[in-house]
Amino acid sequence: MAHQLSSRHEDLIERIIEIGDYADADQVIGEALRHLEEREQRSTRLRAAIAVGDAAIARGDVVDWTPTLHAEILREAKEAAKAGKKPKADVCP
């Protein structure tokens, strides 16, 4: 697939190559595409999580958000972090 880049994008790629982290335009574009793919994967996971939440709400399977619940979630997260447990990907930015 051939594509003509705008002069603005060509200039940006050239500046990135000049910094020295990438040898050529193919590497720059490859890295950009990897980031786009990662973003799309995160979006897909988020949409799936939202669908699960919407289904739970539709079933009435919900818990009221309270200061006590918030404190309990924070406490559990801190304990898990101290134990070296990593959070699930769907709760990380």
**Averaged pLDDT for residues 72-76:** 94
Q: Which residues form the domain of 72?
A: 7-83
State pLDDT tens for residues 9-46: 999 999 999 999 999 999 999 999 999 999 999 999 99
* 90 within some domain: no
Tabulate helix, strand, coil % of the chain (nearest 5).
Answer: 70, 0, 30
Domains of the chain: total = 1
* 77 within some domain: yes
Please, which residues have CB within 8 angstroms of residue 49's CB and are 6 or more apart in sequence? Answer: 90
